[in-house]
Amino acid sequence: MFDAHAVALGPHGMLAVNVAMLSIIGWALWRAEQKLSFGSDWIALSMLGVFAIAGRVLLDPIPNVQPVTVIVLLAGIHFGATRSIALATAVALGSNLIMGHGLWSFYQAIGWSAVGIAGALLADRLYVDGRLALPALAGVAAISAFAFDWIVSLSALHSLSADVFLVYLMAGIPYDLLHAVGNVAFVAWLANSLSDIMTRHVAIPTAMVVNDVATNRV
């Protein structure tokens, strides 16, 4: 007996397979999204969550490069703080159930939630006249990489003394830079497409509905 599936690909070959799988998932979700009715916000958020989890798991061979931070930032811009927090926490938990769950999951949820809140607070500067301000968004995405990583690094204080914590942060700067560069690349690659999807499914504010009803009655 021999295992016909036991093919050694090596790290680069495995990464190529992972990227291909992520591309298939992204394409399938995009096709499914095209059939959703406008305003299907929670369904769209769920689909974005699936893509974020898949992206984090499949791109794990590239240290600290994943699309989650940019997706949560965009969710904060388009869907607001509360829903971006729900997305951030679900992605942290869902991906860590595969990659390894522990105390750090809580800090990752906090870190990505903070990114979503920042997106909501800066929405009027990052999304202007129906378009993303890509240079500003890329800058915020890069800063978000450092903010997220440093928030997650706080979990180390449960096992490290405070006097070596700064050394721990400094040692992680190369990985922070990889996260920042990855975020800028994801902004250039995916931001406009993801923004278009989110824009189609933003729920209409109640005040607008009331005004529309009043106008129709007149």
Give the integer Cα–Cα distance in Å for 146 and 161.
21
| CATH number, span 11-205 | 1.10.1760.20
pLDDT at 218: 35
Position 31 pLDDT exceeds 90 = no
* pLDDT tens-digit series, residues 159-176: 888 888 889 999 999 999
Q: Report which secondary-structure segment, H or E, holds 128.
A: strand 127-128
Position 80 pLDDT exceeds 50 = yes
Position 5 pLDDT exceeds 70 = no
DSSP character at residue 157: G
Task: Delimit the domains of the chain by residue range.
Answer: 11-205
Bridge partner residues of 131 (DSSP): 128
Nearest Cα residue to 68 out of 85, 84, 46, 88: 88
**What does the angle CA 85 – CA 22 – CA 190 come to, to the nearest 5 degrees?**
60
Position 179 pLDDT exceeds 50 = yes
